[in-house]
Amino acid sequence: MNISEDISLKKYNTFGINVTAKYFSAFSTVEELDGLFGHSPSTTHHSPLIIGGGSNILFTKNFDGLVLKNEIKGIEKVKEDHQYEYIKAGAGEAWHYLVMYCVENNLGGIENLSLIPGNVGASPMQNIGAYGVEIKDVFHSLEAYHKKEKRIVTFNLNDCEFGYRESVFKRRFKDEFVILNVTYRLTKIPMFNISYGAIEKELEAMNVKELSIRSISQAVINIRSSKLPDPAIIGNAGSFFKNPTISNSQFQMLHSKFPTIIGYTQPGEKVKLAAGWLIEQCGWKGFRSGDTGCYDKQALVLVNYGNATGKQVFDLSEDILQSVKEKFDVELEREVNIV
Ligand code: FAD
Ligand code: EPU
């Protein structure tokens, strides 16, 4: 087992933040993981930090512990019935590679989630979502390793307590489990979801006459490429904040003051606001200070133009939070994991 010391994490996080890990290793089997937990260096008080693609993390300081990169691979069909195929994928598989596997095999359900960076293992962590679909819609089960008890536990749909960018792994069981693999339930009979307005528009622009899993995937790829920065070019972790949910009565008050405010009706007399709009209205869109900034095509995305520190990005997020609070009396919540 190979544990490196004092290595830079710059290439392991899509923000491109140059911090170091006191210890670093990777594992591609549960046996290797088990061994690493057994031999975790005792000079640190931190529980080991598991990473996948590092596309939802902001490192604000050097990590004084062991960082473990999950590289468990493999994609296999585990069962099938007349309607569904159940596909199990190793946590270390790239998410978009799995989406492309499903597109190639005409399996429906995750085409709207095309081009989301990161790995399979993190997909249930925050119930990844885009363009009208969330992981919970196709999730069947996962296997996870309990860090302290050193045993494997199976989680079914209800055990995960999925919500908007939420799961039990971000709340009650935070830092307790390492996700090893995830099984998704994919449809053999196409059921397309083009409810998100931008998809329909893009399909029209692409001149698509007949819907297919492939055409929807391509439409999503086109939309995403046009407005989200490519982390290989500009460091970022996607949406930095969640879209906040407020009461219907607060929304009515805000709407009378700001008639162009964007809100989506939710169950229980609630309204979800577009955080990007709120941030843009506060004047942040396109803002840059040194190497940190707010992306000019999507205000919800904070960026690192090169040598920003995690602290600088965090401080910018704090300023944005405060200005949104002052102008709209709405609290933004960070979506990115701060380490
Ligand atoms: P990491 O960043 O490596 O980890 C994220 C968190 O999960 C950390 O707390 C980590 O400790 C934990 N973790 C990771 N793997 C495991 C594991 N196997 N077991 C236990 N814990 C683990 N997200 C969306 O939901 N929708 C989007 O549309 C979207 N668009 C994005 C666009 C861009 C350009 C970028 C950069 C990011 C975007 N994201 C989006 C965020 C991100 O891609 C997802 O959250 C993704 O699932 C993170 O995967 P990862 O492997 O990079 O996780
Ligand atoms: N908007 C603005 N100004 C901006 C950005 C957005 O006015 O600078 C407006 C748009 O015009 C649109 C609305 O806000 O009317 C929503 O914008 P968009 O469709 O771009 O989606 P979003 O709400 O900003 C969410 C997710 C994304 C996901 C997209 C597509 C969150 C926090 N973000 O963004 O997820 O890809 O919808 O479904 O829910 C991520 O989690 O990292 C992420 C990128």
* Res. 38: pLDDT tops 80: no
Residue type at 292?
T
Q: Check if the beta carbon of residue 300 is closer than 8 Å to that of residue 310.
A: no
* Beta-carbon count within 10 A of 163 CB: 14
Single out the residue of 148, 149, 155 nearest to residue 179, CA to CA. Answer: 155
Which CATH number does 235-338 carry? 3.90.78.10
Q: What are phi and psi of 322, to 5 degrees?
A: -65, -40
What is the pTM for the complete model shown? 0.97
- pLDDT of 150 higher than 80: yes
Task: Please give the helix or strand (H or E) that residue 84 lies within, else none.
Answer: strand 84-90
- For 262, the token pair is 């964007």
User: How is the chain split into domains, by residue range?
Assistant: 4-70, 75-227, 235-338
Query: Quick check: CB of 274 below 6 Å from ligand 2?
Result: yes
**Rounded distance, CA 185 to CA 150, Å?**
28
**Does the Cβ of 136 fall within 6 Å of ligand 2?**
no
- pLDDT, tens digit (0-9, with 9 covering 90-100), for 98-120: 999 999 999 999 999 999 999 99
What confidence tens digit (pLDDT) does each residue in 298-318 have?
999 999 999 999 999 999 999
Choose the residue to mutate in 116, 135, 277 for probing ligand 2, maximizing ligand atoms within 8 Å of C-beta: 277
Give the β-pairing of 63-70 and 49-51.
parallel
Whether the pLDDT of residue 15 is over 90: the answer is: yes
How would residue 42 be classed by pLDDT, with cut points 50, 70 and 90?
A: low
The response to whether residue 317 sits with its C-beta less than 6 Å from ligand 1 reads no
11 CB-near residues (< 8 Å, 6+ apart): none
Report the residue among 56, 126, 335 best suited for mutation to probe ligand 1: largest number of ligand atoms under 8 A from its CB. 56
Instruction: Looking at the CA of 263, name the nearest ligand.
Output: 2
The alpha carbon of residue 51 and the mean position of all alpha carbons in its chain are separated, in whole angstroms, by 12
d(CA 104, CA 109): 13
Which segment of 42-51, 123-132, 157-166, 263-272 scores lowest on mean pLDDT?
Answer: 42-51
Output the average pLDDT for the chain. Answer: 95
Fold of 4-70: 3.30.43
Kindly report the CATH number that applies to the domain delimited by 75-227: 3.30.465.10
